[in-house]
């Protein structure tokens, strides 16, 4: 059995800040083919679909579609604010390698 991804309090807090200025929408975290390492993350504000896994915290939602779920099993979705920029990041135990920017990976 695969463990669902986890979302940190910091990621939920940043999503709450983003949604505070307008329409409240969930953060979609998906995996698509492509990128320099074979797969890439698609992270965007979206709407929830009926078959999505919904992760909730701090009054916010993060959604993952059923096709992406196996690739994100046991992953941690976080938010990082560093000198190079602020972004949602994914610590994925399934990735055998990833690119320098952290948006693409291979299994």
Pick the closest to residue 43 from 64, 17, 71 (CA basis). Answer: 64
Residue 5 pLDDT level (bands cut at 50, 70, 90): very high
Instruction: For the chain, give the percent of residues with pLDDT over 90.
Output: 59
d(CA 67, CA 91): 18
Confidence (pLDDT) at 101? 47
89 φ, ψ (degrees, to nearest 5): -125, 155
Contact in structure between 15 and 29 (CB atoms under 8 Å): no
Task: Copy the structure tokens of residue 4.
Answer: 């669902």
Q: Is the pLDDT of residue 51 over 90?
A: yes
Residue corresponding to tokens 């059995």? 1
**Stretch 57-62: mean pLDDT:** 96
When the pLDDT of each residue in the chain is averaged and rounded to a whole number, the result is 86
Residue 105 pLDDT level (bands cut at 50, 70, 90): very low
């Amino acid at each position: 059995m695969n463990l669902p991804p986890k979302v940190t309090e910091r990621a939920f807090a940043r999503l709450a800040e983003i949604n505070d200025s307008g329409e409240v929408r969930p953060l979609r975290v998906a995996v698509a083919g492509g990128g320099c390492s074979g797969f890439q993350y698609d992270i965007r504000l979206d709407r929830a679909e009926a078959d999505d896994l919904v992760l909730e915290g701090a009054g916010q939602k993060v959604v993952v579609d059923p096709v992406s779920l196996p690739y994100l099993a046991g992953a941690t979705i976080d938010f990082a604010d560093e000198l190079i920029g602020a972004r949602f990041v994914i610590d994925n135990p399934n990735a055998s390698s990833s690119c320098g920017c952290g948006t693409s990976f291979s299994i």
